[in-house]
Structure 1
Amino acid sequence: MTATEWVPTRALGRAVLVTGVLLIVGVVLGRVDLVALAAPFALGTAYALRRRPAHAPVIDLAAVDAHLVEGGEVAATVAVANPDDAGYDLVVVRALVSQWLRIDQYGLLPYARMSDDDASVDPAGAPRYAEALDRLATGDGDRRRPSGGVPDRPVALVVPTGTAAGFELHGTARRWGRQPIGPVAARAVACDGLLACRPLVAEPVGVPVYPVIEPFDADEAMPRAAGLVGGHRSRRPGEGGELAGVRIFGPGDRLRRIDWRVSLRARQLHVAATLSDRDAEVVLLLDVLTEVGHSGGVSGSASVLDTTVRAAAAIAEHYLHRGDRVAMLEYGPSARRLRPATGRRQYLTVLEWLLDVAPEPSPYEPYDQVFGPQLLSSDALVVVLTPLVDPRSAAMLARMARSGRIVVAVDTLPGTVSPPPKPSQWTEVASGLWRLERDNTIGQLREHGVPVVAWAGAGSLDQVLRDVARLASAPKAVLR
């Protein structure tokens, strides 16, 4: 910012106006007393403008880099540096924060003075105060008494020449998502309030807040385990820990598999046959067509999207911890997709992917080709997290069941939620009829072979997976 971007304030306009009026009236009327009365105004204005600032302050916004979870502590630093040889009278700063970041208090940071290395850089640029701003964030500098309060009003800072000042925001993250801190606006006043710089705005910083993971554990085996290695028992022979029987030793059998008791009794080498351990692919399909309910944050009521995201994070963590491959899909207009993978890196990727989940209502039919065989394996266990409010969601579940895939529907609709889109316009009778129709839809899905279970944390899918695994392993009838 150049010197031409410093604009006069109303105080300067009033001083010039009073001085000009007194001088003109004194000269026209020949009044020396009026000219003498105008002299202090002229001299005071000239003395205040003797050292005009050439550069505006440098503003910086930084959030503490931490893996925040819902209910965790969040902190951010707002710093302002003075890159000019002339001092500022006052710098007024105001920061906007997301409604899901409850800021409890703020504290003034100590001054950070410019070093000799900073002075060698062009004062017109922010790099001169890069180190000073870093020292300010770490608390190095002249200590000042911290103050508390909620920053719902602008904060006034005094930034002397060659220093940086600022304040820290402390609060609690109440809901998952990329919660913005900022933008931050600042305006400096100089020359005894006669000049002010144009408002400066720092871009907002997104703070990733990960969903709190509800306890979840599914003890049942995977219906179809088709990978090469893993922790699930399969029906295929191979190297594993599950005993399948004893057979005669043959070419390619390992010596450590010899069962010596049976071999001595039969007087012929026998080996213990085992079943291979396989991994499985789990696909979490998130229905984002409808958002129902009111979100109250981590300590309040949960909407459909809150339940969907938290349940998806818990299920993904469980199966990734067991060594399975997990993929993510969205049932909506954008049809976002995360490829299947395993390990901790995939778990962190899943959490980042869930931060961008948002409701996407659309009057058009969602793009169903993402569920094709080239993208969605026929052996995958598909867990659909849906409120079953939109009729298209039930039709999608029925189509996937008819295609031969293993589908489990998790009901994410809270029990006390009224029908969308405007619950206040629904009478009690209409709401009851809507719930009866929804119960009929769930019954029809179960008749099509799609189990529907409400999400209830740990053990929510145990009974469903037990039934699905039994049906998957049952012998199939063959027509001759």
Structure 2
Amino acid sequence: MTGPSLPEPRSTEPESTAGWAPTPALGRAVLLAGLLLVTGVLLGRVDLVVLAAPFALGTAYALRRRPTTLPQVWITAGDDAPLVEGGDVSAAVSVGNPDTVDYDLVVVRSRVSPWLRISRAGFAGAAAPDAPTADASPAAGTPAGTGRSVADRPFVTSVPAAAAVDLELAGRALRWGRHPVGPAGARVAAAGGLLVSRAVLTDAVGVRVYPRTEPFEAVEAMPRAAGLVGAHHSRRPGEGGELAGVRIFAPGDRLRRVDWRVSLRARQLHVAATLSDRDAEVVVLLDVLAEAGRSGGVDGSASVLDTTVRATAAIAEHYLHRGDRVSLLEYGPGARRLRAAAGRRQYLTVLEWLLDVRADASQHEPYDQVFGPQQLSSDALVVVLTPLLDERSAQMLARLARGGRFVVAVDTLPANLTPPKDRGWAEVAYRLWRLDRETMIGQLREHGVPVVRWAGAGSLDQVLRDVARLATAPRVGSR
């Protein structure tokens, strides 16, 4: 891109020659011209003076217009469209020349997050006719997100006066999160390569990559529906779409509810009774006490956090689309929470909230910090996404169940988790840990906490039916 309009420079240098230094080429030219002139005068040799003249005149001609300001560098991260895992990402590192002289050589380099696989990079615009481009296809067997990107090298171009050029970066986003593009820097050579600027750096710009929502559907069964409107059928009579039966007409019933067939047969007015439609509150609890497995990006293996974040996005999208209210909680030292709400705005807020999910081990018990007074509705369905790697997670599930909550535990531990390869007792210890974990899951089920492995659509169907059925039975719990 070229143009006369440039943003304000980030550098605090005054508009002077500060920040510019002579290159070794200038030193060699001055030294050679001086030696030839001095030798020619001392020895009285005119040929040496004539030989020194081109070096002296060339250096003076190149320095006739010296740059006074440093270059400007800034980063632009793509467009405003939401970026999802596996989507195309684009960014540009721009170098501007606010001076009145041309920059003969500009070297630009930028750091890029390894989760942004940059496959094409090159300059655009009339100022960079020889802009380099490259293709970065990962070698066979290279895990996604770990290979060398084409952005991990310097790029060279030239910038005319009062113009700017863009180093365009294009590739693919491999994993959810906030990924930096930058910091970036540029150094400039001017005056025929006799002067070089100091490195001008700019801060990184974050690129937001939202988690890919896996296809997810679940049955309509809910333990309790507490709202006034929604898609779930409650057990209370009211104005809804689910037929509850036929009863005798009573004062206040609407005429459109009259069942004429039954009325004519019974010779008395009867109306169709319906169940009210009510919304439910779904609380998704993210266990962030531990991380396990290796993340391979959108096309590779999934770690615990990958499964947790993507499953949360899928569950939230499903229930928000049905008109329910969804809230998020973190079971960890941070105890972050997102209040319950409904609608598309809440879904976008959920995606933004998930970008900051991090595993954070802690020695203290976070239960009281997460579940404070009146923080969790008694009618809410609590979906806990946990790898069950910490004993405190199992204790938290048991306490919720004993408190009369409707709890569903979703196992997010990767199924392909491999045992350690070290010699000795490592493999035996791994097997013992697996047995201990299975025992803990069995104990949770005995306490009334269903534990199911996340498998996308249909993962929670049977569990939700069981929880809804148990909700209708008398329960005894301590609060």
Q: Give TM-score scaled by structure 2 length.
A: 0.86
Please tell me the root mean square deviation across aligned C-alpha atoms, in Å: 2.6
Summarize deviations over 1:376-427 as a string: whole Å, max 9, x none.
11111000000000111111111111111101000000122257xx774762
Whether the 8 Å CA contact 1:111–1:144 is kept in 2: the answer is: no
**Secondary structure of the residue that 1:360 maps to in structure 2?**
coil
**Within-5 A mapping of 1:312-323:** 312-323=312-323
Q: Does 1:308 align with 2:330?
A: no
**Within-5 A mapping of 1:173-192:** 173-192=173-192
Moved more, 101-110 or 274-283: 101-110
* Residue identity matched to 1:459: G
Summarize deviations over 1:95-134 as a string: whole Å, max 9, x none.
211101111122331227xxxxxxxxxxxxxxxxxxxxxx
* Residue identity matched to 2:470: L
Q: Does 1:351 align with 2:351?
A: yes
TM-fit CA distance, 1:147: 4.1
The CA distance in 2 between the partners of 1:461 and 1:189, in whole Å, is 63
TM-fit CA distance, 1:280: 0.3
Sort the Cα spacing of 1:203 and 1:476 in 2 relative to 1 into closer, same or farther, 3 A: closer
The CA distance in 1 between the partners of 2:407 and 2:476, in whole Å, is 21
TM-fit CA distance, 1:163: 2.9
**Within-5 A mapping of 1:392-403:** 392-403=392-403
Q: Does 1:103 align with 2:118?
A: yes
TM-fit CA distance, 1:30: 7.8
**Within-5 A mapping of 1:442-457:** 442-457=441-456
Higher helix share: 1
* Residue identity matched to 1:76: A
Moved more, 241-250 or 223-232: 241-250
Q: Does 1:414 align with 2:414?
A: yes
Summarize deviations over 1:210-262 as a string: whole Å, max 9, x none.
11221211124111111111111111111111222333333332222223334
TM-fit CA distance, 1:179: 1.6
**Within-5 A mapping of 1:35-74:** 38-65=52-79, 66-74=81-89
The CA distance in 1 between the partners of 2:108 and 2:207, in whole Å, is 20
Corresponding residue for 1:432?
Answer: 431
Moved more, 219-228 or 143-152: 143-152
Whether the 8 Å CA contact 2:279–2:325 is kept in 1: the answer is: yes
The CA distance in 2 between the partners of 1:266 and 1:44, in whole Å, is 115
The CA distance in 2 between the partners of 1:369 and 1:406, in whole Å, is 20
Summarize deviations over 1:243-302 as a string: whole Å, max 9, x none.
223333333322222233344444443332221111000011111111101111111111
The CA distance in 1 between the partners of 2:240 and 2:421, in whole Å, is 55
**Within-5 A mapping of 1:281-292:** 281-292=281-292
The CA distance in 1 between the partners of 2:364 and 2:308, in whole Å, is 22
The CA distance in 2 between the partners of 1:152 and 1:477, in whole Å, is 62
The CA distance in 2 between the partners of 1:393 and 1:26, in whole Å, is 88
Moved more, 83-92 or 32-41: 32-41
**Within-5 A mapping of 1:2-401:** 2=15, 3-19=17-33, 38-65=52-79, 66-111=81-126, 147-149=133-135, 150-366=150-366, 368-401=368-401
TM-fit CA distance, 1:22: 5.7
* Residue identity matched to 2:463: V
Whether the 8 Å CA contact 1:109–1:146 is kept in 2: the answer is: no
Whether the 8 Å CA contact 1:61–1:205 is kept in 2: the answer is: yes
How many aligned positions are there? 447
Whether the 8 Å CA contact 2:239–2:277 is kept in 1: the answer is: yes
The CA distance in 2 between the partners of 1:20 and 1:361, in whole Å, is 68
Summarize deviations over 1:23-72 as a string: whole Å, max 9, x none.
66777888877666555443332221110112222223212223222111
The CA distance in 2 between the partners of 1:160 and 1:143, in whole Å, is 12
Corresponding residue for 2:147?
Answer: none
The CA distance in 2 between the partners of 1:251 and 1:29, in whole Å, is 129
The CA distance in 2 between the partners of 1:13 and 1:363, in whole Å, is 62
Sort the Cα spacing of 1:408 and 1:168 in 2 relative to 1 into closer, same or farther, 3 A: same
**Secondary structure of the residue that 2:334 maps to in structure 1?**
coil
Query: Which 5+ residue runs of structure 2 have no aligned equivalent?
Result: 1-12, 136-149
The CA distance in 2 between the partners of 1:103 and 1:477, in whole Å, is 58
Corresponding residue for 2:10?
Answer: none
**Secondary structure of the residue that 1:158 maps to in structure 2?**
strand
The CA distance in 2 between the partners of 1:364 and 1:34, in whole Å, is 83
Corresponding residue for 1:116?
Answer: none
* Residue identity matched to 2:219: D
Whether the 8 Å CA contact 1:68–1:209 is kept in 2: the answer is: yes
Sort the Cα spacing of 1:111 and 1:202 in 2 relative to 1 into closer, same or farther, 3 A: farther
* Residue identity matched to 2:95: V
TM-fit CA distance, 1:327: 0.7
Query: Which 5+ residue runs of structure 1 have no aligned equivalent?
Result: 113-141
**Secondary structure of the residue that 1:89 maps to in structure 2?**
strand
Summarize deviations over 1:124-167 as a string: whole Å, max 9, x none.
xxxxxxxxxxxxxxxxxx98888444343211111122332223
Moved more, 11-20 or 179-188: 11-20
Whether the 8 Å CA contact 1:178–1:207 is kept in 2: the answer is: yes
Corresponding residue for 2:7?
Answer: none
Whether the 8 Å CA contact 1:418–1:431 is kept in 2: the answer is: no
* Residue identity matched to 2:21: V
The CA distance in 1 between the partners of 2:156 and 2:105, in whole Å, is 7
Sort the Cα spacing of 1:53 and 1:251 in 2 relative to 1 into closer, same or farther, 3 A: same
Whether the 8 Å CA contact 2:378–2:404 is kept in 1: the answer is: yes
The CA distance in 2 between the partners of 1:407 and 1:349, in whole Å, is 24
Whether the 8 Å CA contact 1:409–1:453 is kept in 2: the answer is: yes
* Residue identity matched to 1:308: T
**Secondary structure of the residue that 1:240 maps to in structure 2?**
strand
Whether the 8 Å CA contact 2:398–2:447 is kept in 1: the answer is: yes
**Secondary structure of the residue that 1:273 maps to in structure 2?**
strand
Moved more, 16-25 or 218-227: 16-25
**Secondary structure of the residue that 1:51 maps to in structure 2?**
coil
